[in-house]
A = this chain, B = another copy of it.
Amino acid sequence: MSVNPMELQQSAVVTEITRTPLTGSRKIYVESPSGSCRVPMREVTLSPTLLRGKGDTAEYEINEPLRIYDTSGPYTDATAEINLHAGLDRTQRQAWIDARADTVQLDGFSSHFTRERIAEVDDIPTFENKPLPLVAKGDANVSQMHYARQGIITPEMEYIAIRENMGVAELSQTEIAERNSMGMPAEITAEFVRVEVAEGRAVIPASINHPELEPMIIGRNFLVKINANIGNSVLTSSIEEEVEKMVWSTRWGGDTVMDLSTGKNIHETREWILRNSPVPIGTVPVYQALEKVNGIAEDLTWELFRDTLIEQAEQGVSYFTLHAGVLLRYVPMTADRLTGIVSRGGSIMAKWCLAHHKENFLYTHFEEICEIMKKYDVTFSLGDGLRPGCIADANDEAQFSELKTLGELTKIAWKHDVQVMIEGPGHVPMHKIKENMEEQIKHCHDAPFYTLGPLVTDIAPGYDHITSGIGAAQIGWYGTAMLCYVTPKEHLGLPNRDDVKTGIITYKISAHAADLAKGHPVSQMRDNAMSKARFEFRWEDQFNIGLDPDTARAYHDETLPKESAKVAHFCSMCGPKFCSMKITQEIRDEFGTGAAQVEKGVQVQKAMEEKSIEFLKQGSEIYRAPTDAA
């Protein structure tokens, strides 16, 4: 298909990118004490609480604005200038990288494919200001793990501490004690971040060639993260659609985005996404490698694959899913499964192994891959190519055998100070989920777990965001660090814009529910702000504090469309005549709150106990009057 590049470029700039802040929110920037970084956050403005009175004589209490962890980048900053052709501002993180003085800018691209591509491509829109790549100087290792292990707190770590720690100063002593009792620090410090990365319990996926990203961390002692997959396939989609999908995904809370494109122009699509992405980008390099051999798995070679890794590392991909644990000897273990191998990457590697009767080249070349990873700080996401594709196949020998191999590879990667996370299933019934987490921790030495769902049943195509959101919440609570979203179209088709949003919101719910259950320091503040707004009938605040203000507002307006209903002290459930919330206010008026309530409560209890005893003394005979119903 020949396309006029100017047309595409125009439409990418003019019509597609979502730029408005979320309703009721504004972007703020928090400076680090050292002045080394500015951390963007979202702040929801809250209306005051009406204490008493009406109109001119009304008395109000201020509600402090609520800070929310913000993945949306400059797109939701009303004052930011966005030019897709220039890409996002690189200056903040570029300065940190340059200051370390351990990288060098190449004067061309190391990948053969990239060089050919630049020379040949002229019928699709390319990113005009494609930056030349950085690479580690000489034998330097530029991974965050390497720095962490040397005791260095990088600006990335400082940034992350502020980002994760938002609002913690407001915690009460009781809350701090509760957090500590759950094994969580009350405050996330930069040093805590460093230790977690040094020990491999957390990763900071932050390629040196993607300075546009806002650093984030994945580890079970931090907020649970979510990943959104995007990508054009051989059947549909275009480049600017893909960029907007990334913007759209991060708007609703995607912490990382995986570009799983499988069609043509993968390289160019990825460039557009990377240059405009505020979040780390992950890929499955074998998808592109397979395109290069026209979809014939057995034609893959290590040399071609290696070139693909370098191509993507020099573009700025921050983590690679590599199915290095699909060993030839595990393949027959899948033959009796109900659904065999369902991982696309896994089946590609299995096919290659079978065709050549050789061991998986990702496994045999693993140390060479480590050498590449550490030169760009690309993080391993060791893929679970043998994950179960249905409830019946969960937790089987093939799956757990591969997991053990991934654990062995983790040790090798760590020997090189290369960051690692481990991918997990898939389809698992609830009673078998915990075993997944336990086996992962045991065999993979505390490396962060990154799971797809899991889906807790197979019977709901069209609703697999929910079947998997249930499993995701659970496994997140058990310790999984990042949850890969599933959209309503899973198993059926390619997600559109609404599906992506639904998938993200569902996974934000799962991740947040897990944070609550794990006692992350800042997680409950948002729930409490919502509950207070709900109790006080501050409708606009309820909408705006929520994960999706637009949908909440639309649903409210469907029943009570008038503007006056948004300040009404009642809702559509009970109507204006009777209201549960109002009665609670009366209880407070009668018993007071705090100490007063307790004292008055004791009196009432005493009085009631006396009555109760009296009631018991009388037996219940008096209540046995025969009914006249018979």
A389 within 8 A of B: yes
- Residues from chain B with a CB closer than 8 A to the CB of A547 are 459-460, 462-463
**Contact between B336 and A593 (Cβ–Cβ < 8 Å)?**
yes
Q: Once the chains are docked, how many angstroms separate the CA of A535 from the CA of B388?
A: 12
A157 within 8 A of B: no
Enumerate the 9 nearest inter-chain pairs by beta-carbon distance, A residue then B residue, closest first: A340-B584, A493-B559, A332-B601, A390-B531, A329-B608, A430-B517, A462-B551, A234-B575, A347-B580
A30-38, A93-101, A508-516 - the one binding chain B = A508-516
- With A354-B587, A532-B338, A593-B336 known as contacts, the answer to whether A367 contacts B623 (CB < 8 A) is yes
A304 within 8 A of B: no
4 additional contacts, CB 8 Å, given A135-B629, A329-B604, A339-B581?
A: A372-B627, A391-B516, A459-B545, A470-B510
Which of B314, B343, B367, B583 is within 8 Å of A341, CB to CB? B583
- Give the distance to chain B from A499, nearest Cβ to Cβ, in Å: 8
A13-21, A211-219, A277-285, A484-492 - the one binding chain B = A484-492
**Contact between A524 and B559 (Cβ–Cβ < 8 Å)?**
no
Chain A 456-479 per-residue mask, 1 if CB under 8 angstroms from chain B, else 0: 111111110011011001100100
Residues 43 to 70 of chain A near chain B (Cβ within 8 Å):
none
A555 within 8 A of B: yes
**A314 to chain B: closest residue by CB:** B629
Q: What are 13 residue pairs bridging A and B, where the CB atoms are less than 8 Å apart in the complex?
A: A137-B630, A236-B559, A328-B604, A334-B584, A335-B591, A367-B620, A368-B623, A375-B629, A392-B531, A429-B517, A462-B547, A463-B551, A470-B513
Which of B332, B458, B510, B586 is within 8 Å of A591, CB to CB? B332
Q: Once the chains are docked, how many angstroms separate the CA of A390 from the CA of B531?
A: 6
- Residues from chain B with a CB closer than 8 A to the CB of A131 are none
**Contact between B578 and A290 (Cβ–Cβ < 8 Å)?**
yes
- Residues from chain B with a CB closer than 8 A to the CB of A412 are 620
Which of B391, B430, B493 is within 8 Å of A560, CB to CB? B493
A185-193, A358-366, A435-443 - the one binding chain B = A358-366
Chain A 68-87 per-residue mask, 1 if CB under 8 angstroms from chain B, else 0: 00000000000000000000
A574 within 8 A of B: yes
A609 within 8 A of B: yes
- Residues from chain B with a CB closer than 8 A to the CB of A466 are 466, 469, 506, 509
**A137 to chain B: closest residue by CB:** B630
Q: Once the chains are docked, how many angstroms separate the CA of A341 from the CA of B527?
A: 17
A546 within 8 A of B: yes
- Residues from chain B with a CB closer than 8 A to the CB of A359 are 608, 611-612, 615
A118 within 8 A of B: no
A313 within 8 A of B: yes
A588 within 8 A of B: yes
- Residues from chain B with a CB closer than 8 A to the CB of A327 are 608
- With A517-B429, A593-B336 known as contacts, the answer to whether A572 contacts B530 (CB < 8 A) is no
- Give the distance to chain B from A356, nearest Cβ to Cβ, in Å: 12
**Contact between B493 and A430 (Cβ–Cβ < 8 Å)?**
no
**Contact between A470 and B467 (Cβ–Cβ < 8 Å)?**
no
A23 within 8 A of B: no
Q: Once the chains are docked, how many angstroms separate the CA of A560 from the CA of B492?
A: 9
A26 within 8 A of B: no
Q: Once the chains are docked, how many angstroms separate the CA of A329 from the CA of B350?
A: 67
A494 within 8 A of B: yes
Q: Once the chains are docked, how many angstroms separate the CA of A612 from the CA of B333?
A: 18
Chain A 300-329 per-residue mask, 1 if CB under 8 angstroms from chain B, else 0: 000000100010011000000000000111
**Contact between A459 and B532 (Cβ–Cβ < 8 Å)?**
no
**A550 to chain B: closest residue by CB:** B462
- With A367-B623, A588-B340 known as contacts, the answer to whether A578 contacts B328 (CB < 8 A) is no
Q: Once the chains are docked, how many angstroms separate the CA of A314 from the CA of B627?
A: 13
A543 within 8 A of B: yes
Chain A 409-444 per-residue mask, 1 if CB under 8 angstroms from chain B, else 0: 000100000000000000001110000000000000
- Give the distance to chain B from A62, nearest Cβ to Cβ, in Å: 18
**Contact between A513 and B392 (Cβ–Cβ < 8 Å)?**
no
- Give the distance to chain B from A16, nearest Cβ to Cβ, in Å: 20
**Contact between A626 and B371 (Cβ–Cβ < 8 Å)?**
yes
Q: Once the chains are docked, how many angstroms separate the CA of A234 from the CA of B519?
A: 41
Q: Once the chains are docked, how many angstroms separate the CA of A517 from the CA of B488?
A: 23
Most buried by B among A327, A593, A623: A623
